Structures are given as structure tokens and as C-alpha cells.
């Protein structure tokens, strides 16, 4: 499934910072990036991205929204925005997931499974996802840093907190630059008329590092 272009892509899932891009011809033709939270920075980023692309909101044919896991507030602000714009002028809304983007960007860069990817959650916990040896993606789960550190898997994570909490992790950049290619991959996007934040803890699978030991 691919999103009609030009597509306005929004990511408010980070604990700090907002990214908005206009996708056309399989590449960014406009971008707006802010270090502020979604409440302060989202709409300014939208204006910047549209101006950079020399387009108006009326020119946008679809929306693609990151639904997490990540900042619930940031995701919901972005979700309410695209739902409002789509209500004013009906256009399809597609959603994508941050852990899937991180995992797929590692695979595109040549990494081979099995490995884990992780982003910071709440209360010093982590959202994570396992990539199998065949490159297939598991279900998101929440875990303590100690569980991830002892899982016996290579661990990819981004963000300053990972430096101290996950000392054995491989630091990777956010997958934003790889996103145009990822958006074209089968199964990456799904259409969702009323998107909301994915990363409510009850939505996630439970996980035990014991069954993922390197000698298991």
C-alpha cells in the first residue's frame, strides 16, 4: 500500500523534537524539524515543510502519521491535526510505527537478524521489538533496561538516555532520512481513518529475555 503524493508525513513520537516532511516522487521535497515538543513545534514544522515544498495544505493528497511507540501527547496532537484536516477535505490517513521504522532502517543498512531495537518508554522502561534471523519483525513489548542488556542479542537504539541505560547498545540515528524508502515498502503503512497513539502499555506483548538467550 502506498500513500498518494504529495503526502504530508508527521512524526511527533520523540520525547523531544518534531519532524514533518512532504513526500513526492519518493523523496522529501520539503521538511520542517523542531527541537520543541509537538504542542509548540508541530504546526510551525508543517508550515515550514509546505513552504519548502512550495505547496499549500490543499495540495496534499494524503497524510502519513507515526503512531508510536513514543510520546503519547506528541502522537495524539499530530493525530488530531491530520484527523481535522481530513475532515475538512477528505484525504486518506496512513499510519506507521517507530520501532518498525528503526528495525527496517537497520535492515536496509545491511544489518542481519537476530537483533533488538529499542526506544525509551516511560518510568525508565523501554519499548522494544525483536528482528528474527529471517528479517521478520516481532510484536512490540515493554522491558526494563536490564532485560534488554542481558538478552543475548545485538541491540540498536537512538537517543542520549541509551548511552547510560543500555551500555552495550549500538547507537543509530533516527530513521527519518531512510523514511522515504521505507514508506514504499510493502506492509510498512496501513490506512487508518481515526489514528491514535499505539504505545499504551496494554497494547504490547509481554516478553521475557530468558527465551531469547544466545544459547537458547
Confidence band (pLDDT; 50, 70, 90) for 102?
very high
Set out the domains of the chain in order of their start, with CATH numbers: 7-97+187-199 (3.30.420.40), 99-173+204-212 (3.30.420)
What proportion of the chain, given as a percentage, has pLDDT over 90? Answer: 74
pLDDT at 16: 81
Lowest-pLDDT choice from 50-64, 68-82, 120-134, 142-156 = 120-134
- Choose among 48, 49, 40, 51: nearest CA to 17: 40
**Longest Cα pair distance anywhere in the chain, in angstroms?**
56
Cα separations in angstroms, 86 against 23, 45, 64: 17, 18, 12
Q: Comparing 87 with 208, which gets the higher pLDDT?
A: 87
Average pLDDT, the chain: 90
pLDDT at 112: 95
Question: Parallel, antiparallel, or unpaired for β 62-66 and 7-11?
Answer: parallel
pLDDT at 138: 94
Question: Parallel, antiparallel, or unpaired for β 125-131 and 141-144?
Answer: antiparallel
pLDDT at 208: 54
Q: What is the pLDDT of residues 162-209, one digit of tens each?
A: 989 999 899 998 899 999 999 999 999 999 999 998 754 544 544 555
Residue 114, preceding peptide bond in cis (omega within 30° of 0): yes
pLDDT at residue 70 tops 90: no
Q: What is the pLDDT of residues 7-16, one digit of tens each?
A: 999 999 988 8
Q: What is the pLDDT of residues 145-170, one digit of tens each?
A: 999 999 999 999 988 889 899 998 99
pLDDT at 200: 47
Count Cβ neighbours within 10 Å for each residue of 60-92 and write b for 16 or more, e otherwise.
bebbbbbbbbbbbebbbbbbebbbebbeeeebb
pLDDT at 199: 54
Amino acid at each position: 500500500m502506498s500513500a498518494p503524493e504529495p503526502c504530508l508525513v508527521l512524526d511527533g513520537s520523540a520525547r523531544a523534537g518534531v519532524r514533518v516532511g512532504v513526500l513526492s516522487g519518493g523523496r522529501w521535497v520539503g521538511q520542517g524539524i523542531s527541537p520543541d515538543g509537538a504542542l509548540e513545534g508541530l504546526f510551525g514544522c508543517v508550515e515550514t515543510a509546505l513552504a519548502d515544498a512550495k505547496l499549500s495544505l490543499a495540495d496534499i493528497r494524503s497524510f502519513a502519521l507515526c503512531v508510536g511507540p513514543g510520546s503519547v501527547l506528541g502522537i495524539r496532537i499530530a493525530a488530531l491535526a491530520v484527523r481535522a484536516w481530513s475532515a475538512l477535505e477528505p484525504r486518506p490517513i496512513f499510519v506507521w510505527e517507530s520501532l518498525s521504522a528503526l528495525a527496517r532502517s537497520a535492515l536496509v543498512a545491511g544489518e542481519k537478524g537476530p537483533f533488538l531495537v529499542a526506544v525509551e518508554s516511560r518510568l525508565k522502561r523501554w519499548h522494544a521489538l525483536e528482528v528474527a534471523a529471517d528479517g521478520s519483525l516481532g510484536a512490540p513489548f515493554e522491558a526494563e533496561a536490564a532485560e534488554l542488556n542481558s538478552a543475548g542479542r545485538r541491540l540498536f537504539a537512538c537517543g542520549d538516555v541509551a548511552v547510560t541505560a543500555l551500555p552495550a547498545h549500538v547507537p543509530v540515528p533516527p530513521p527519518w532520512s531512510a523514511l522515504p524508502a521505507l514508506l514504499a515498502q510493502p506492509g510498512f503503512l496501513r490506512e487508518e481513518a481515526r489514528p491514535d497513539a499505539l504505545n499504551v502499555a496494554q497494547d504490547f506483548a509481554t516478553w521475557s529475555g530468558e527465551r531469547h538467550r544466545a544459547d537458547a
